[in-house]
Amino acid sequence: MSPELTKEVIVGSVAVFFTALFTGIPAVLLFWWTWQRDQERLVVQKLLWYGKTHDGKRVLLRDSHGPSFGLLIRNRSLFSVRVDAVGFEVGGDVIQLEHPAFPVKLKRNPDRTSNFPNIPDDDSDPYELPSGACVQVSVFNPTDRARLCAALQTASNKAGRSMDEVLDSPRVIAMAALETGKQFTSMPFRKKVWRWALSIRREMDGQPSEIPE
């Protein structure tokens, strides 16, 4: 091969490489953006309500059923989503809330003589969560409270720890599901997989599968 031909081959190869590079990067970015645009992404957090005693000690708020708690849902999707169900996993048992307390949207009362300037907006959908928005879901219904606290008491007896300690541990996981069926939890996926794998290994070694927190 002559030096001129060799030079042309090298120049042509370099040109092809950089052409592929500079056309490939935008294509990858476009693919990534399209994928991100179409993904449903929620961040679910467990909310615990705390108060202080007369001596300044921080304690969980309680009612006749037990400790009070709820969950927070953030929509990280690039579009609105509709929450179909919320609940908790308590000691391995999944409990869906039958009467979750979503915030009520208010609108101005057209009757200016009323002592109540705002009235509930009947056209609003509390289950719809716009992109970037968040919603705090509380548990007020007595039936839901009784079911959750009964499961919490069972998990507490099994773990040999107080209900407050169990509630503040990964044994209690907040959960949310969308209309599309996709589910999200407050426990990171990697930690959940690690606990599952460690539980299997403990069973294989003849040890209790329950993993201490």
pLDDT tens digits, one per residue of 186-204:
986 645 555 555 565 656 6
Distances (CA, A) of 13 to 7, 58, 82: 10, 69, 52
H-state helical runs in 118-212: 142-159, 163-167, 189-204
- Output the six-digit token pair for 116: 């109540």
Residue 17 pLDDT level (bands cut at 50, 70, 90): low
CA distance 147 to 154: 11
pLDDT at 209: 47
**What's the pTM value of the predicted model, to 2 decimals?**
0.67
Least confident piece of the model among 67-71, 119-123, 172-176: 119-123
Instruction: Work out the average pLDDT over 176-188.
Output: 87
Distant-in-sequence, close-in-space partners of 99: CB < 8 Å, separation ≥ 6: 140, 141, 143, 144
Q: H/E/C letters for each residue in 97-136?
A: CCCCECCCCEEECCCCCCCCCEEECCCCCCCEECCCCEEE
pLDDT tens digits, one per residue of 31-85:
455 555 667 889 999 999 888 888 888 888 888 888 989 999 999 998 999 999 9
pLDDT at 197: 58
3-state secondary structure of 13: helix
Residue 20 pLDDT level (bands cut at 50, 70, 90): low
Domain locations in the chain?
Answer: 1-38, 40-204
